[in-house]
């Protein structure tokens, strides 16, 4: 393994999912639902396969039906207008979008400011692009992990090329507020920075939290690459259909990198996702309400088991603090948890450069059947 990647090893998701399989523990680690999305979408994929749509290489930028559906979705929900031909690019999941955007936009030596804890592929992709990551740490404040705007401003230097944002935020469940996003936008404009914003959990916001795409803020549309994905919203994480929306110059740049990564992927699934994005609003509302109910089940169970619970405003993850259980090392805790309690979770420390800051936090996924979440909670109560 070369020096750029040497520090990364195996992703925590592979490690912990393998541990779940080996021990038979309930897997609340890697974020994937234990129930597939709507039957009609599975049928849409089967229909595309049978009718021979997407079985051969689809067009490099993505099938026109999906690019149009993405543009209509951004317009309908957020009032953001994108040209499906020049401002939308379909990718192999958000993962490829992140990689292609960073490979296309970062020069070796450039600094990339990212919110810490950060989704694990950010660090690896910044490294592959030869960039240097500069983490800005989200810290607990009144029950949620929040961004310190002064720290954010201080992190930007003359070498900063782009800001890498994620809202709703994995793993903390924070949904950035309009005030926080405005500060990010003003900074980007003032310092003339590009912004890559990962919004794959855009439909998973709860209670009175609102997902505000960064591209809707003044001065942002032309400098922002917005990343979306079908995996989370439609509960088909294996289909690997994602996309970016951005101004034509940025899309062209990202496409340059993307064409040498996969060229294209997921042909028949692209047609199915085009249908998914056009589902009536009731689908999205039901999905949200359903996940909110699951959050309640797991949050209550974790609370009763003695964890400090950071109730997430978005995503399908709950970050907890394990210190009330009398332990401080989330890594050791997660490695032992399958044997001790038959549950798998993710140590947030892997998402930090400042490992000590992340040490006491552990993430649990609640995108699972409520009965399974209850069983997990029962098991975790034996820890106390
Ligand atoms: N970004 C974030 C914040 C994620 O949690 C994930 C995992 N779903 C991804 C990107 C990758 O998404 P995909 O499965 O579409 O590649
Ligand atoms: N996004 C998922 C999570 O955060 C994992 C996806 C993956 O395995 N790369 O759990």
pLDDT of residue 360: 98
The answer for residues whose C-beta is within 8 angstroms of residue 167's C-beta and 6 or more apart is: 174, 175, 176, 181, 197, 198, 199, 211, 212, 214, 314
* Angle value at C-alpha 122, between 201 and 170, nearest 5 degrees: 30
Q: Is the CB of 229 under 6 A from ligand 1?
A: yes
Ligand 1 centroid–CA 324 distance in Å is 30
C-alpha–C-alpha distance, residues 55 and 284, integer Å: 29
> Which atom of ligand 2 sits closest to the CA of residue 237?
6
DSSP string, 10-53: S-HHHHHHHHHHHHT-EE-SS---SS-S-HHHHHHHHHHHHTTS
pTM for the predicted model, two decimal places:
0.97
Q: Span 40-277: which CATH code?
A: 3.40.640.10
CATH architecture of 12-30+282-383: Alpha-Beta Complex (3.90)
CA 205 to ligand 2 centroid distance, Å: 18
User: How does DSSP assign 195-258, residue by residue?
Assistant: EEEE-TTTT-B-TT-----GGGSTTTGGGEEEEEEHHHHHT-TTS--EEEE--HHHHHHHHHHH
Separation of alpha carbons 337 and 313, rounded Å: 26
Q: Whose CA is nearest to atom 8 of ligand 2?
A: 13
CATH 3.90.1150.10 range(s) for the chain read: 12-30+282-383
Ligand 2 site, residue 17, Cβ cutoff 6 A: no
Tell me whether 0.85 is exceeded by the ipTM: yes
Span(s) in the chain for CATH 3.40.640.10 = 40-277
Q: Ligand 1, residues 66, 70, 94: which to mutate, most atoms within 8 A of Cβ?
A: 94
Give the integer Cα–Cα distance in Å for 328 and 384. Answer: 15
Q: What pLDDT, on a 0 to 100 scale, did the predictor assign at position 184?
A: 98
pLDDT for res 1: 87
Q: What are phi and psi of 261, to 5 degrees?
A: -90, -70
**Cβ within 8 Å of residue 328, ≥6 positions away:** 322, 359, 360
Q: Is 95 in the pocket of ligand 1 (CB under 6 A)?
A: yes
CA of 11 to the centre of ligand 1 (A): 13
| Binding site membership of 30 for ligand 2 (Cβ less than 6 Å) | yes
Q: Output the tens digit of pLDDT for each of the chain's 384 residues.
A: 898 999 888 889 999 999 999 999 999 999 999 999 999 999 999 999 999 999 999 999 999 999 999 999 999 999 999 999 999 999 999 999 999 999 999 999 999 999 999 999 999 999 999 999 999 999 999 999 999 999 999 999 999 999 999 999 999 999 999 999 999 999 999 999 999 999 999 999 999 999 999 999 999 999 999 999 999 999 999 999 999 999 999 999 999 999 999 999 999 999 999 999 999 999 999 999 999 999 999 999 999 999 999 999 999 999 999 999 999 999 999 999 999 999 999 999 999 999 999 999 999 999 999 999 999 999 999 997
What's the pLDDT at 105? 98
What's the CA-to-centroid distance between 147 and ligand 2, angstroms? 23
Rounded CA gap, 304 and 173, in Å?
20
């Amino acid at each position: 393994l070369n020096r750029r990647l040497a520090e990364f090893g195996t992703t925590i998701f592979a490690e912990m999912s393998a541990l779940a399989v080996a021990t038979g523990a309930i897997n609340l680690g890697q974020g994937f639902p234990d129930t597939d999305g709507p039957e009609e979408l599975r049928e849409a994929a089967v229909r595309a396969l049978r009718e021979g749509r997407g079985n051969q290489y689809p067009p490099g930028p993505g099938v026109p039906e999906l690019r149009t559906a993405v543009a209509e979705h951004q317009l309908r929900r957020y009032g953001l207008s994108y040209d499906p031909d020049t401002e939308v690019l379909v990718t192999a999941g958000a993962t490829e979008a992140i990689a292609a955007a960073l490979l296309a936009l970062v020069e070796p030596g450039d600094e990339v400011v990212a919110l810490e804890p950060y989704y694990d592929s950010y660090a690896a992709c910044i490294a592959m692009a030869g960039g240097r990551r500069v983490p800005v740490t989200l810290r607990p404040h009144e029950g949620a992990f929040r961004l310190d705007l002064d720290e954010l401003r201080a992190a930007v230097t003359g070498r900063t090329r782009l800001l890498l944002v994620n809202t709703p935020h994995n793993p903390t469940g924070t949904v950035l507020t309009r005030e926080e996003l405005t500060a990010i936008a003003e900074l980007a404009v003032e310092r003339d920075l590009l912004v890559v914003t990962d919004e794959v959990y855009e439909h998973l916001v709860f209670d009175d939290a609102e997902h505000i795409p960064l591209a809707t803020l003044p001065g942002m549309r032309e400098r922002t690459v917005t990343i979306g994905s079908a995996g989370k919203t439609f509960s088909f994480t294996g289909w690997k259909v994602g996309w970016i929306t951005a101004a034509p110059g940025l899309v062209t740049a990202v496409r340059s990198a993307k064409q040498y990564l996969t060229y294209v992927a997921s042909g028949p699934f692209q047609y199915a996702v085009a249908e998914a994005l056009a589902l009536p609003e009731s689908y999205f509302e039901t999905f949200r309400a359903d996940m909110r109910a699951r959050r309640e089940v797991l949050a209550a169970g974790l609370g009763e088991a003695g964890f400090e619970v950071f109730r997430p405003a978005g995503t399908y993850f709950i970050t907890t603090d394990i210190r009330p259980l009398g332990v401080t090392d989330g890594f050791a805790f997660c490695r032992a948890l399958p044997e001790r309690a038959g549950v798998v979770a993710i140590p947030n420390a892997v998402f930090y450069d400042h490992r000590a800051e992340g040490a006491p936090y552990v993430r649990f996924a609640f995108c699972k059947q409520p009965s399974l979440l209850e069983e997990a909670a029962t098991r975790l109560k034996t820890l106390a």
